Amino acid sequence: MRNKSKIIVGLEVGTSKVTAIVGEIKPDNSIQILGFGRSKSVGIRKGEINDFDMTSECIYQALNEAELKANVTINELYLACTGGHIKSFSHRGDAMISGEESEVCLYDLDEVEESAKEAAIPAEDTLIHAVLQHYYVDGKEGIRNPVGQLGTKLEADYLLIHGRELRIKNAIKCVKSTGVEVYDVVFSPVAAAQTILKQDDKRHGAIMIDIGAGTTEYVVYANDAIKHAGVIAVGGEHITNDISIGLKPTSAASERLKIEHGSLLVEDMDSQELINLRGELAYEEWTVSKADLTAIMRARVEEIFELVHQDIESKGLMPYLRHGVYLTGGSSMIVGIAELAEEVFELPVNVLQGPQTNTQVPLDLNPEYSVVVGLLKYAHKVEEEKAERMPHQTLERISRRVMDFIYAMKSLIF
Amino acid sequence: MIEFNRDGILGEQASLPPSRIKIFGVGGVGIHCIDKMIIEGLNQMPLVSFDTRAQSLESSIAGEKVLLGKRILRGIGAGGDPESGKSAATDDEGVILSLMKDTDIVFLVGALGGGTATGGLPVFAKTARVAGIKTVSIVTLPYDFEGKRRMDDARRALDLLEEVSDCVLVLDHSRLSDLIDEIGGLRNSFESMTDLHVRAILALWRMLSFKNLAKIDFETIGKCFEQDAQTLFGYGEVRDRNVKDALGHVFSSVLMGNNILLRQADSVLMSITAGKEMTMQDVQHILDDVKLRLNPQTKIQVSASIHEDFDDRLNISVFAITPHGRPEIKPLSVVKDSAEIEMNLFQQPAKTVKEKTGSTSMASAFPNGLVESEITIKPAATVKPKKKRLEKQELIEFQKQKGRFDKTEPTMVNGVDLDIPTFMRKKIAIGAE
* Residue-by-residue DSSP string for A312-335: HHHTT-GGG-TT-EEEESGGGGSB
Helix (H, G, I), strand (E, B) or coil at B56: helix
Helix (H, G, I), strand (E, B) or coil at A247: helix
- The b-or-e profile of A199-238 (16+ CB within 10 A means b, else e) is eebbbbbbbbbbbbbbbbbbbbbbeebbbbbbbbbbbbbb
CB < 8 Å to B401, chain A: 245
CB contact under 8 A, B431 and A242: no
Nearest alpha-carbon partner for B296 in B268, B254, B324, B256? B268
**A251 touching B (Cβ < 8 Å):** yes
CA–CA separation, A345 and A220 (whole Å): 13
Q: Which range among A253-262, A380-389, B407-416 has the greatest average pLDDT?
A: A253-262
CA–CA separation, B138 and A259 (whole Å): 61
CA–CA separation, A385 and B5 (whole Å): 87
Distance from CA of B431 to the nearest CA of A (A): 7
What's the mean per-residue pLDDT of chain A? 83
Is pLDDT at A251 greater than 70 in this prediction? yes
Looking at the DSSP assignment, which residues form a beta bridge with residue B320? B232, B268
Distance from CA of A350 to the nearest CA of B (A): 25
Alpha helices in B226-381 (DSSP H): 243-252, 259-263, 280-293
pLDDT of B393 reads: 46
CB < 8 Å to B428, chain A: 295-296, 299
CB < 8 Å to A234, chain B: 411, 418-419
pLDDT of A78 reads: 92
Report the pLDDT averaged over residues A172-185.
90
Report the pLDDT averaged over residues B268-283.
78
* Closest residue of chain A to B411, computed from CA coordinates: A233
pLDDT of B342 reads: 41
- pLDDT band (50, 70, 90) for residue A228: very high
Check residues A74 and B132 and name the one with the higher pLDDT.
A74
B133 φ/ψ angles, rounded to the nearest 5 degrees: -105, 135
Is pLDDT at B70 greater than 80 in this prediction? no
CB contact under 8 A, B403 and A241: yes
Is pLDDT at B65 greater than 90 in this prediction? no
- pLDDT band (50, 70, 90) for residue B173: low
Looking at the DSSP assignment, which residues form a beta bridge with residue A221? A206, A226
pLDDT of A49 reads: 83
Is pLDDT at A89 greater than 60 in this prediction? yes
Q: Which of A167, A242, A304 to mutate to test the interface with B (most CBs of B within 10 A)?
A: A242
* Closest residue of chain B to A85, computed from CA coordinates: B411
Is pLDDT at A66 greater than 70 in this prediction? yes
Element (H, E) at B206: helix B186-208
Nearest alpha-carbon partner for A167 in A58, A230, A86? A86
Helix (H, G, I), strand (E, B) or coil at A370: helix
CA–CA separation, A220 and A227 (whole Å): 5
Is pLDDT at A184 greater than 80 in this prediction? yes
CB < 8 Å to B411, chain A: 46, 84, 232-234
- pLDDT band (50, 70, 90) for residue A99: low
Predicted TM-score of the model (pTM): 0.53
pLDDT of B43 reads: 64
CA–CA separation, A227 and A157 (whole Å): 10
Alpha helices in B79-185 (DSSP H): 82-91, 93-99, 116-130, 148-164, 173-177, 180-183
pLDDT of A396 reads: 63
The answer to whether the beta carbons of residues A249 and A283 sit under 8 Å apart is yes
Is pLDDT at A394 greater than 70 in this prediction? no
Is pLDDT at B104 greater than 50 in this prediction? yes
Nearest alpha-carbon partner for A7 in A59, A21, A190, A173? A21
Helix axes B27-39, B116-130, angle to 10 degrees: 80
Helix (H, G, I), strand (E, B) or coil at A219: strand
pLDDT by residue (tens digit) across A121-170? 888 888 988 888 888 888 888 777 888 888 888 889 999 999 988 889 88
pLDDT of B371 reads: 32
Element (H, E) at A291: helix A290-314
Q: Which range among A28-32, A297-301, B60-64 has the greatest average pLDDT?
A: A297-301
- State what percent of residues in chain B have pLDDT above 70: 62
CA–CA separation, B137 and B132 (whole Å): 15
CA–CA separation, A216 and A210 (whole Å): 6
User: What secondary structure does DSSP assign to A380-414, as a single string?
Assistant: HHHHHHHHHHHHHHHHHHHHHHHHHHHHHHHHHH-
Distance from CA of A347 to the nearest CA of B (A): 24
The distance in angstroms from the start CA to the end CA of chain B is 77
User: What secondary structure does DSSP assign to B342-401, as a single string?
Assistant: EE-BSSSTTEEE--B-------------S---EEEEEE-GGG--HHHHHHHHHHHHHHHT
Nearest alpha-carbon partner for A30 in A372, A370, A380, A371? A380
Report the pLDDT averaged over residues B258-264.
65
What's the mean per-residue pLDDT of chain B? 67
Distance from CA of A12 to the nearest CA of B (A): 21
pLDDT of A312 reads: 92
Do you know the residue count of chain A?
Answer: 414
CA–CA separation, A272 and A110 (whole Å): 63
Cβ contacts of A50 within 8 Å, gap of 6 or more: A43, A44, B408
Q: Which of B397, B411, B423, B428 to mutate to test the interface with A (most CBs of A within 10 A)?
A: B423
- pLDDT band (50, 70, 90) for residue B22: confident
Check residues A413 and A368 and name the one with the higher pLDDT.
A368
The answer to whether the beta carbons of residues B109 and B201 sit under 8 Å apart is yes
CB < 8 Å to B418, chain A: 232-234, 238, 303
Cβ contacts of A147 within 8 Å, gap of 6 or more: A104, A105, A106, A109
- pLDDT band (50, 70, 90) for residue B62: confident
CA–CA separation, A229 and A219 (whole Å): 4
CA–CA separation, B363 and A202 (whole Å): 52
Nearest alpha-carbon partner for B320 in B274, B249, B285, B268? B268
Choice among A9-23, A118-132, A288-302, A365-379 with the minimum mean pLDDT: A365-379
pLDDT by residue (tens digit) across B301-349? 787 777 777 777 788 888 877 765 333 333 333 333 333 444 433 333 3
pLDDT of B351 reads: 33
* Closest residue of chain B to A298, computed from CA coordinates: B423
Is pLDDT at A2 greater than 60 in this prediction? no
**A364 touching B (Cβ < 8 Å):** no
- pLDDT band (50, 70, 90) for residue B364: very low
Helix (H, G, I), strand (E, B) or coil at B418: coil
CA–CA separation, B414 and B185 (whole Å): 49
The answer to whether the beta carbons of residues B33 and B198 sit under 8 Å apart is yes
CA–CA separation, B232 and B294 (whole Å): 13
Check residues B170 and A68 and name the one with the higher pLDDT.
A68
pLDDT by residue (tens digit) across A211-227? 988 899 999 999 888 99
Check residues A43 and A39 and name the one with the higher pLDDT.
A39
CB contact under 8 A, A244 and B403: yes
CB < 8 Å to B407, chain A: none
- pLDDT band (50, 70, 90) for residue A209: very high
Check residues A102 and A127 and name the one with the higher pLDDT.
A127
Which DSSP letter does residue B286 get? H
CA–CA separation, A54 and A260 (whole Å): 29
Is pLDDT at B6 greater than 80 in this prediction? no
- Neighbour tally for A386: CB within 10 Å: 10
CB < 8 Å to A288, chain B: 432
Closest in A45, A46, A295 to B423, CB measured: A295
CA–CA separation, B156 and B1 (whole Å): 57
pLDDT by residue (tens digit) across A269-319? 888 888 877 665 555 566 788 888 899 999 999 999 999 999 999 988 888
The answer to whether the beta carbons of residues B110 and B120 sit under 8 Å apart is yes
ipTM for the predicted complex comes to: 0.76
CB pairs under 8 A between A and B: 72
Which amino acid is located at B274 in the chain? A
Closest in B404, B411, B419 to A251, CB measured: B404
Report the pLDDT averaged over residues B239-264.
67
Alpha helices in A38-100 (DSSP H): 52-70
